[in-house]
């Protein structure tokens, strides 16, 4: 049996309608009338949004563009609706509905179809994923809802929306980010690429700290990778020089005192782990010649 091609998207829902009894209207998204259907115009006041619409916010700039198009060309694609309690409830075409309402249109073209709540929700989710400019978190939440409410595996979701499974899996992982970092992603301050790199960190505080540094320094994704690597594999701290033990310290203090008395000048002994140094103070050239003489060197060196 041939494997179904990826990218069928809403067509996968259309296919489900084939199993319906003869005479029923297929549940599909296609905005053109199917055999036996017709486009009709209904008063805009009789059309209501679907409470099952998963998306509550629509980009104003996209709505403005659609209003300009409708103003010039009219509504080219009818709204898809179903009859609920005497009203035409939207199945698909909410942006066209909102644009028509903003323009003050009195009526809109619709195609009336039969659809269950489950069909409407699934079509709305997939329409949003395929046709809307969702932010990365909205996209991830839509995938999760498809998985939870319809028992779909990531492979099934990928097939319906025309993407590969890895894309779906990576999108869902974005919901593991801390709330504050999700806000950065939602507001466009961080890209999806940045977010995926930050998810390599396991601790919430590490992710938040790294995200703040990315924003503060305007780091690229590549630079963010280096930042995360430095957090995951910090350089080994340099060993601090060990303090001399008590017995050695007593001996060094004694030597320092004896040298001070012998040379009649300030002496400081600095002892390290493997080596050290002795500092000898002098106050003039004559004093230096005196010290050299005391150490057995000719007094005319300087």
Residues marked as catalytic: 94
Q: What does the chain look like in DSSP terms, one character per residue?
A: -PPPPTT-TTHHHHHHGGGSPTTSPP----SSPPTT---EEEEGGGEE--TT-S-----HHHHHHHHHHHHHH---SPEEEEEETTEEEEEE-HHHHHHHHHHT-SEEEEEE----HHHHHHHHHHHHHHHS---HHHHHHHHHHHHHHH---HHHHHHHHT--HHHHHHHHHGGGS-HHHHHHHHTTSS-HHHHHHHTT--SHHHHHHHHHHHHHHT--HHHHHHHHHHHHSPPPPPPPPPPPPHHHHHHHHHHHHHHHHHHTS-EEEEE-SS-EEEEE---SHHHHHHHHHHTTS-TT--
């Amino acid at each position: 049996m041939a494997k179904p091609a990826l990218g069928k998207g809403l067509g996968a829902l259309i296919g489900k309608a084939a199993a319906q009894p003869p005479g029923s209207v297929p549940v599909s998204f296609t905005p053109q009338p199917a055999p036996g259907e017709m486009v009709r115009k209904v008063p805009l006041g009789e059309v209501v949004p679907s409470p099952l619409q998963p998306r509550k916010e629509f980009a104003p700039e996209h709505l403005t563009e659609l209003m300009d198009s409708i103003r010039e060309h009219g509504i080219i694609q009818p709204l898809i609706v179903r009859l609920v309690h005497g009203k035409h409830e939207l199945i698909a075409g909410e942006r066209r509905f909102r644009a028509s309402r903003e323009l003050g249109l009195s009526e809109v073209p619709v195609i009336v179809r039969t659809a269950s709540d489950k069909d409407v929700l699934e079509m709305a989710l997939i329409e949003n994923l395929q046709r809307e400019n969702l932010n990365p978190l909205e996209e991830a939440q839509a995938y999760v809802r498809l998985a939870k409410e319809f028992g779909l595996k990531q492979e099934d979701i990928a097939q319906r929306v025309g993407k590969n499974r890895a894309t779906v899996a990576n999108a869902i992982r974005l919901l593991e980010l801390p709330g504050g970092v999700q806000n950065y992603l939602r507001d466009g301050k961080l890209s999806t690429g940045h977010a995926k790199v930050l998810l390599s960190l396991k601790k919430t505080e590490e992710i938040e700290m790294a995200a703040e540094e990315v924003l503060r320094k305007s780091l690229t994704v590549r630079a963010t990778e280096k930042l995360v690597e430095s957090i995951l594999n910090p350089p080994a701290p340099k060993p601090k020089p060990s303090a001399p033990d008590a017995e050695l310290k007593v001996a060094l203090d004694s030597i320092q005192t004896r040298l001070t008395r012998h040379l009649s000048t300030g002496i400081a002994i600095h002892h390290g782990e493997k080596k050290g140094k002795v500092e000898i103070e002098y106050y003039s050239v004559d004093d230096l010649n005196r010290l050299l003489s005391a150490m057995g060197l000719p007094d005319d060196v300087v």
